[in-house]
Amino acid sequence: MNLTHDERAMLDGKYGKASRKAMEILVGLGTIYGAKKMVPVSSVQIAGVSYDNLGEAGLQFLSSMANGGGKARVLATLNPAGMDIDNWRSLGINSEFAENQKRVLEAFARMNVITTCTCTPYLVGNVPHFGEHIAWAESSAVCYANSVLGARTNREGGPSALASAITGRTPVYGFHLDSQRIPKLTVEVTGEISHYFDKNESFYFSALGKVIGERLETFGKKEVPYIMGIKSCSNENLKSFCASIATYGGAALFHMENITPEAAKLSSPKPTVIIERSDLDMAVQSLSSSASDEVDFISLGCPHLSIKEIAHLAELLEGKKVIKEFWITTARPIKQIADEMGYSQIIEKSGALFASDTCCVVAPIKGRFNTMLTDSAKACYYAYGKNNFKTVFKTFKEVVAEAVGEGSSHRDSKSNNSSANSILI
Ligand code: F3S
């Protein structure tokens, strides 16, 4: 690989041990994927933050990079941690875990990484612009950055994202190249279901991400789809859709006609995959376990809730009391806006718990609950794969209604959770 003078100096250890290790990681990765050079990045999102996923070995790696003088050269933010940094006790997190989680965050802070702990960095100030080269981990955020923002990133892992933060570089291959961003198949959502896709409800976007993601699997994970038939959508819809299509199809990029920025200059290629009502209905059904399962845990915020979603939640919960453990997961800066607007007070008065900085998947809650109710197809996938929870999938409004004891019993459908062998978030 052709390295610049500065990149060669990092590899030779002239910038310290951590920079050398980081450049070794990136050169190794670039060599595997046939990259000819590096490119500067302006933004990094690092995954692998929860101590529940990292363990002691992961923490030791981070400490060694911090001790070796590693410092982020560019804006770098973090994925969710294993707990709410302030409010961990009320979420039932034990103090030993809390201590270890704090050591993880301290290591990142020593490296000048901003400890935001959210999977929606684009809602809290880490917002790359169109065409910008970045290095992001977190599959839903990668898909959002590539598709919705038009920035350019591969699906980085925790170590390679950290390496990019320290060096300010990433090897040029995959989605950094024009040729890899061209769609290879068309997905047409038929008119009979276009009314399902309501700007104010992300439920069917989440299910659609599962349907298309699973179809992509049959064509090979790397195929970029050109999606037609969605008339309009909100940022929240796209957030949910990105999480699903990345989870179920490994997608890091899609184009959506009249919606995403690169779609206008592209045409719809053959073959064409048709998505019908029955596909969507089957996906919805498959995300719920059998009707006999009693929900004992409710979670909204996968990906982390926007301020608009929190405002809606406050409206739905005003004057009501929740009857089950109910976590609201969001980024801390979003929670702070909710505090200022009075939304948090309404939500907390209902008995729902804010779980800022974390989520129902990366928190150490395996064994605590049996069945989780959510509006997120991604949360269903990992709640089962990581925590062995059964799942019930409903709309945002239905989830809140169930939480306050006003909902109908959940859908009578077959158990068909997909197995998750590894945590990719
Ligand atoms: Fe975010 Fe956790 Fe979902 S990291 S995308 S809330 S599984």
Closest by CA position to 38, among listed 136, 169, 135:
169
The pLDDT value given to residue 53 = 93
The pLDDT value given to residue 409 = 56
Averaged pLDDT, 78-84: 98
Kindly tell me if the per-residue pLDDT of 385 is higher than 50. Answer: yes
Averaged pLDDT, 198-210: 94
CA distances from 279 to 207, 275, 328 (A): 9, 6, 30
Averaged pLDDT, 62-77: 98
Give 301 Cα–ligand 1 centroid separation in angstroms: 8
Among 78-82, 204-208, 272-276, 416-420, whose mean pLDDT is lowest?
416-420
Reported as a pLDDT band with limits 50, 70 and 90, residue 198 is confident
Give 139 Cα–ligand 1 centroid separation in angstroms: 9
The pLDDT value given to residue 418 = 39
The pLDDT value given to residue 200 = 86
**Contact in structure between 334 and 416 (CB atoms under 8 Å):** no
How, if at all, do strands 225-228 and 353-356 pair?
Answer: unpaired
Give 3 Cα–ligand 1 centroid separation in angstroms: 36
Averaged pLDDT, 320-344: 98
Residue closest by Cα to atom 4 of ligand 1: 119
CA 23 to chain centre: 26
Give 360 Cα–ligand 1 centroid separation in angstroms: 8
The pLDDT value given to residue 413 = 40
Q: Which helix (H) or strand (E) holds 169?
A: strand 169-171
How would you label 136-147 residue by residue, b for 16+ Cβ within 10 Å and e otherwise?
Answer: bbbbbbbbbbbb
**Contact in structure between 116 and 124 (CB atoms under 8 Å):** yes
The pLDDT value given to residue 416 = 38
* 3-state DSSP assignment of residue 327: strand
Instruction: Return the biggest CA–CA distance within the chain.
Output: 65
Reported as a pLDDT band with limits 50, 70 and 90, residue 289 is confident
**Contact in structure between 150 and 127 (CB atoms under 8 Å):** no
Reported as a pLDDT band with limits 50, 70 and 90, residue 420 is very low
CA separation for the pair 269, 124 (Å, rounded): 35
Q: Is any ligand 1 atom within 6 A of the Cβ of residue 244?
A: no
Among 51-55, 293-297, 374-378, whose mean pLDDT is lowest?
293-297
Query: Computed over its alpha carbons, how large is the radius of gyration of the chain?
Result: 21
Residue closest by Cα to atom 5 of ligand 1: 303
Give 192 Cα–ligand 1 centroid separation in angstroms: 31
* 3-state DSSP assignment of residue 261: coil
Mutate to test the pocket of ligand 1, among 136, 206, 239, 302 (most ligand atoms within 8 A of CB): 302
The pLDDT value given to residue 217 = 86
Dihedral through CA 78, CA 79, CA 82, CA 87, nearest 10? Answer: 70
- The reply to whether omega before 261 is within 30° of 0 (cis) is no
CA separation for the pair 387, 368 (Å, rounded): 9
Q: Which ligand 1 atom sits nearest the alpha carbon of residue 119?
A: 1
Work out the mean pLDDT of the chain and round it to a whole number: 94
Give 303 Cα–ligand 1 centroid separation in angstroms: 5
* 3-state DSSP assignment of residue 373: strand
The pLDDT value given to residue 199 = 87
According to DSSP, residue 32 is labeled H
Averaged pLDDT, 393-409: 92
422 phi and psi, to 5 degrees? -140, 155
Q: Is any ligand 1 atom within 6 A of the Cβ of residue 355?
A: no
For residue 339 the two structure tokens come to: 């505090």
Span 98-148, pLDDT tens digits: 999 999 999 999 999 999 999 999 999 999 999 999 999 999 999 999 999
Kindly tell me if the per-residue pLDDT of 342 is higher than 70. Answer: yes
The pLDDT value given to residue 293 = 67
Reported as a pLDDT band with limits 50, 70 and 90, residue 195 is confident
The pLDDT value given to residue 221 = 61
Mutate to test the pocket of ligand 1, among 304, 305, 327, 384 (most ligand atoms within 8 A of CB): 304
Give 119 Cα–ligand 1 centroid separation in angstroms: 6
CA separation for the pair 415, 369 (Å, rounded): 17
The pLDDT value given to residue 219 = 77
β partners of residue 328 = 300, 354
Whole-model pTM: value is 0.94
Q: Measured between alpha carbons, how far apart are the two ends of the chain, in Å?
A: 29
